[in-house]
Amino acid sequence: MRRLSILLVVLLASACGGDDEATVTVTVENTTTVTVTETTTVAATETTDTSVTTDTTAAPADWDGLPQPLPEDGTLPVAEFNAYAESVDEPWERDLAGVMDEYVGAEATESSGRSFQATSAGEGGGSATASLTLDGLFDDSVRSRRYDLTLSRRQDGTWQIETAQWSQRCHEGRGHQAFSPAACL
């Protein structure tokens, strides 16, 4: 019986002694993250599992505002702002006026009057339109500027800008009187 116990201990020890596990993780920062995990188990058969995950997307750390000068065709870019908005958790993201103010930024402070209008589909619906008109601009040619956004609601209740347009109206004698992205004189 004693020999049987010793033999059993030797068999168990030899069965456990061949396993070897190693995990290696490498992280490289600079908008690219690489994680490598390698596990090798040695027993009756040899198995190797290697996986590599690469993430190259990086949200901007801050919203630098609308491009200056504004695009001549009246269409404003939204992708960079949306990426920024997704990377933060701020109260303005759930409010149409807040999104408009954050998107337009400093432009909104360069006027003596402002008018904001918004329409959303249903109660807390999935889409909305918003319009901000800045009147009495401190500019000798441009009297008013208007920003029009179409937005959709994300799953987390925040708003994402789908499209953005701008237009302006000139002072009398300085060009067009209707809202248009055309230049004033």
Average the pLDDT over each of 47-51, 102-106, 129-133, 141-145 and give the range with the smallest value: 47-51
Identify the sign of the CA torsion 10, 12, 15, 20.
Answer: negative
Q: Would the pLDDT of 107 be above 80?
A: no
Task: Give the pLDDT band (50/70/90) at residue 133.
Answer: very high
Flag the least confident range among 44-53, 65-74, 148-157, 160-169.
44-53
CATH architecture, range 79-170: Roll (3.10)
Confidence of residue 44 (pLDDT cuts 50, 70, 90): very low
Q: What is the pLDDT at residue 99? A: 97
- Say yes or no to pLDDT of 20 above 80: no
Q: Residues of CATH 3.10.450 domain(s) within the chain?
A: 79-170
Q: Give the pLDDT score at 23.
A: 38
Is the pTM for the entire model greater than 0.75? no
User: How confident is the prediction for the chain on average, in pLDDT?
Assistant: 76
Rounded mean pLDDT of 44-66? 56
pLDDT at 182 over 90: yes
Higher pLDDT, residue 32 or 133: 133
- Integer CA distances (angstroms), 162 to 65, 66, 70, 94, 165, in order: 17, 15, 18, 15, 11
